[in-house]
Amino acid sequence: MRLSTLWSKSLLGNKYILWCLFIVNLLGTIYGYIWYDNQLRETWATQPHWLIVFVPDSPTASLFFTLALLFLLFPQKLGKFYFIRTIIEGLAVVTSIKYGIWAVTIIFAGAAQGNVLVWQDWMLVASHLAMAVEALLYVRLFKFGSLMLIAAWSWTILNDFIDYSFGVYPWLPEVLWNDVNAVMIFTFALTCASALAGWIALRAAKRW
């Protein structure tokens, strides 16, 4: 078996693979929202309630990808929602790449400054790297185009602006509390890089 078979359209589009990914991503999404429970409660109690939407970044990215998988699993039944599908797919790609890489970077940045990594950190590293990889792989099967990619980038930039303007960005390791400005700059740059990566994958997909 050639190595390229591992990311071929036939394998990625296999129903068993799709169902496995759907279940794993759904469970990961649920776990992610539970992970954010304390921050969600604090935001609800101390901030305007509309900000609650912008708090759970990674779980929402995972939710977008989970929903995108539904359109691959039920293309006929959900075919009439094509426009919604392309919006969700664009958001799934940009946010999954962005928050997948962001979380891993923050974990290791904390470790570099003395934060002790525990098994949960390694679990988060593996799961968030998987988010970024699966998003790039499934661009080939998605239907969104450049317009929805720009829309997804715009939403994610808005999310960044809200996060760092109102202080609802994901809680950082204590050792990084003095580096919020650097994290903010990295976050905005990563959003742009993630959209660019999505665009490159989109261009490549049209040649395959």
Domain tally for the chain?
A: 1
Q: Which two tokens stand for residue 19?
A: 């169902």
Among 110, 93, 62, 103, smallest CA distance to 187 is for 103
Q: Which pLDDT band holds residue 205 (cuts at 50, 70, 90)?
A: confident
Q: Which pLDDT band holds residue 207 (cuts at 50, 70, 90)?
A: very low
Would you state the pLDDT for residue 8? Answer: 79
Q: CB neighbours of 194 closer than 8 A, spacing ≥ 6?
A: 94, 95, 97, 98, 101, 153, 156
Would you state the pLDDT for residue 206? Answer: 74
Residue 3 confidence (pLDDT) above 80:
no
Kindly state the average pLDDT of the residues 58-80.
95
- Domain range enclosing 49: 3-205
Q: How far, CA to CA in Å, does 110 sit from each of 12, 58, 68, 104, 171?
A: 35, 18, 32, 10, 12
Q: CB neighbours of 195 closer than 8 A, spacing ≥ 6?
A: 94, 149, 150, 152, 153, 156
Among 51, 31, 11, 54, smallest CA distance to 131 is for 31
pLDDT digits (tens, 9 = 90+) for 78-130: 889 999 999 999 999 999 999 999 999 999 999 999 999 999 999 999 999 99
